[in-house]
Amino acid sequence: MSSPVPNGATLASPLAVECRIQVVHQDDGCTVLLAGRLNAAQVHDLRRICDAEQGAIRIDLSDLLSADAVGIDALRRLRQTGAELVGVAQYLHRSLT
Distance CA 24, CA 27 (A): 10
Q: What 8-state DSSP symbol labels residue 27?
A: T
One digit per residue, the tens of pLDDT, for the chain of length 97 reads 444 444 444 444 455 568 999 999 998 899 999 999 999 999 999 999 999 998 999 999 999 999 999 999 999 999 999 999 999 998 888 888 7
**Domain 19-93, CATH number (from 1.10.287.130, 3.30.750.24, 3.10.50.40, 3.40.50.1970):** 3.30.750.24
88 CB-near residues (< 8 Å, 6+ apart): 61, 96
Domain parsing of the chain, residue ranges: 19-93
DSSP 84: E
**Which pLDDT score, from 0 to 100, does residue 15 have?**
52
- CA 61/CA 85 separation, integer angstroms: 7
Q: What is the pLDDT of residue 31?
A: 97
